[in-house]
Amino acid sequence: MWIAENWKDYEVIDCSSGEKLERWGKYILVRPDPQVIWNTSKASGKWKHRNGHYHRSSKGGGEWEFFGLPKQWQIHYRSLTFNLKPFSFKHTGLFPEQAANWDWFSDKIRNAGRPVKVLNLFAYTGGATLAAAAAGAQVTHVDASKGMVAWAKENAASSNLSDRPIRWLVDDCVKFVEREIRRGNHYDAVIMDPPSYGRGPKGEIWKIEDAIHPLIKLCVQILSDNPLFFLINSYTTGLAPAVLTYMLATELKRFKGQVDSQEIGLPVTASGLVLPCGASGRWEA
Predicted confidence at residue 137, as pLDDT, reads 98
Predicted confidence at residue 201, as pLDDT, reads 60
Phi, psi of 108 (to 5 degrees): -60, -45
Check whether 185 has a pLDDT greater than 80.
yes
Of all residues in the chain, what percent carry a pLDDT higher than 70? 97
CA distances from 83 to 52, 69, 127, 147, 264 (A): 16, 14, 11, 13, 23
Closest alpha carbon to 17 in 5, 34, 1: 34
Check whether 42 has a pLDDT greater than 90.
no
Phi, psi of 157 (to 5 degrees): -65, -40
Predicted confidence at residue 198, as pLDDT, reads 73
Considering the entire predicted model, what is its pTM? 0.95
- Mean pLDDT value across residues 64-73: 96
Q: What is the bridge-based pairing of β-strands 205-207 and 274-284?
A: unpaired
Domains and CATH numbers, the chain: 8-84 (2.60.40.1180), 96-284 (3.40.50.150)
Predicted confidence at residue 150, as pLDDT, reads 98
- Mean pLDDT value across residues 7-11: 98
Mean pLDDT for all residues in the chain: 94
Q: Mean pLDDT lowest for which of 6-10, 45-49, 51-55, 175-179?
A: 45-49
Q: What is the pLDDT of residues 226-250, one digit of tens each?
A: 999 999 999 876 789 999 999 999 9
Residues 32 and 19: their CA atoms lie apart, in Å, by 4
Q: How confident is the model at residue 59 (pLDDT cuts 50, 70, 90)?
A: confident
Predicted confidence at residue 176, as pLDDT, reads 97
